[in-house]
Amino acid sequence: MRILLTILYLFAAIISNGQFLRVQRNGNMRAEPNTTSEILEKIHTGDSLILLQPSQTDAYYHVRGRVSGQEGWVYRTLVRKVEGDLIAPVISGTVVDIRILDVGAGLCALIKLPGDKYVIYDAGGDDGLQNGSRTFNQIKEYIPLHSTVELLVLSHTDADHINAAEQVIRDNTVKKVLWTGFEASMVGGQTTGAFKRLDSMLEARPATENVNLHESGSNIVPGTSFQIGAAEFTFLCGFGSPPPEWTGLSDAEKLNGVSIVMKLAFGGDTILFCGDAVGRHLDSSEDTVLATEHFLVNNAREHLSAQIIVAPHHGAANGSSKTFVGLVKPKSVIFSAGHKHRHPTTRTANLYLEHVALDSIYRTDRGDDEGDGEWPHGRCPGRRDPYNDDTIQVQLRSNGTYRIYYMMEEPPCH
């Protein structure tokens, strides 16, 4: 009997007084009962919420999401009470949240695991600012200062992927940093300020385990994985330096090609983070696959399938080879792009459209207009996409469903 009661407690709850809420119009569930607190998830017309009694304020109901299991507050005019018995899942920590920040031309993905555990994949962007402060301000809104970060993965050392990494390590307890360590001076360029700041901060934080692939002369073995609770992280590749068989690459392709590619699985759903993985030259034929993606196709094929992909290199034409995308077979695509380099390209977006519906492609530069070459869907003529207006939230749920949405729903030309 005790086992049965435990199972019922973990997986279901009967609503007290037979009351729950039906969402009347789209809105937000927030962490606190005020309009400035963190948005936990979007609620949509027709959704059901569990009413938590007696906690409520004059303006807000205290609720739990039926599917997500998240507990928060919703504005009372968004919902109406419904009488009746309702059995709903309320597993504690049933959601993994991934927030793809709008950091301009760059990438920063924040992962919140059950039990308020955090993993970060890349900490870049800032649209040319040298210290990463704007990106870090966004990170602080989601990950409170002085938090414990289980793992910071830096796909490669370009500034648009590491610009705020120094601040993350400085102001939080970061257990481990996994990065390539392969940087511009190693291909005849100049070491970036972002790299110097990161390297110095790691030296000043000996308690942070520094896994530098270049310094150790090592590469990641495809399929290397670990778990945090029910979330599984699998690493598909990552290189301390470009393998000798990668011939004919430009210096930029070498720096991008060593990218650490990581897959997160939770509740039966998966999301693939690709950094700036290289799959082709800009002028290559569509049947070409080389460098990072060639390695993945030949050495990590069994790990490539994923429902969601954060597309290689912000949607550039030198990533997302046809062979690679055909093995991933995504249902949803995210382009982390800004007003620079004409990303995502029309070529790359059209390739993904062979596999996914138009409304399952998301980009952090909605409405941007950089002219020919950039994917024109939703373009607003003459518009330069602003910073931090197209942050994307992904929720992986333990029941095998996921949701992706923009944190701001205004149309791009608004």
Instruction: Kindly report the CATH number assigned to the domain that includes residue 323.
Output: 3.60.15.10
User: Looking at the domain assignment, is residue 411 inside a domain?
Assistant: no
Classify strands 269-273 and 261-266 as parallel, antiparallel or unpaired: antiparallel
User: Looking at the domain assignment, is residue 205 inside a domain?
Assistant: yes
Co-location of 348 and 308 in the same domain: yes
User: Looking at the domain assignment, is residue 413 inside a domain?
Assistant: no
User: Looking at the domain assignment, is residue 414 inside a domain?
Assistant: no
Co-location of 76 and 215 in the same domain: no
Q: Which of 88, 118, 151 is the last residue of a domain?
A: 88
Co-location of 78 and 104 in the same domain: no
Co-location of 154 and 34 in the same domain: no
Q: Hey, what are 127's tokens?
A: 């649209």
Classify strands 176-179 and 224-228 as parallel, antiparallel or unpaired: unpaired
Q: Which of 88, 111, 138 is the last residue of a domain?
A: 88
Q: Which of 46, 67, 88 is the last residue of a domain?
A: 88
Instruction: List the one residue out of 79, 77, 54, 84 whose CA is nearest residue 65.
Output: 79
Label residue 82 exposed, middle or buried (CB < 10 Å: 0-12, 13-18, 19+).
middle
* Contacts of 229 by beta carbon, 8 Å cutoff, 6+ apart: 93, 113, 114, 115, 117
Co-location of 359 and 229 in the same domain: yes
Co-location of 295 and 311 in the same domain: yes
Co-location of 136 and 52 in the same domain: no
Domain count, the chain: 2
Can you give the residue range of the structural domain that contains 371?
95-406
Instruction: List the one residue out of 14, 18, 40 whose CA is nearest residue 27.
Output: 40
Co-location of 110 and 255 in the same domain: yes
Co-location of 262 and 377 in the same domain: yes
Q: What is the pLDDT of residue 66?
A: 74
Co-location of 84 and 116 in the same domain: no
Co-location of 268 and 291 in the same domain: yes
Co-location of 181 and 50 in the same domain: no
Residue 48 maps to which CATH number?
A: 2.30.30.40
User: Looking at the domain assignment, is residue 412 inside a domain?
Assistant: no
Q: What is the pLDDT along the chain (414 residues), one digit of tens a residue?
A: 333 222 222 223 333 344 688 887 889 999 999 988 989 889 987 788 888 876 667 799 999 887 777 889 999 989 888 755 444 443 444 899 999 999 999 999 999 999 889 999 999 998 656 689 999 999 999 999 999 999 999 999 999 999 999 999 999 999 999 999 999 999 999 999 999 999 999 999 999 999 999 999 999 999 999 999 889 999 999 999 999 999 999 999 999 999 999 999 998 999 999 999 999 999 999 999 999 999 999 999 999 999 999 999 999 999 999 999 999 999 999 999 999 999 999 999 999 999 999 999 999 999 999 999 999 999 999 999 999 999 999 999 988 899 999 998 776 676
Q: What is the pLDDT of residue 127?
A: 67
Q: What is the pLDDT of residue 130?
A: 66
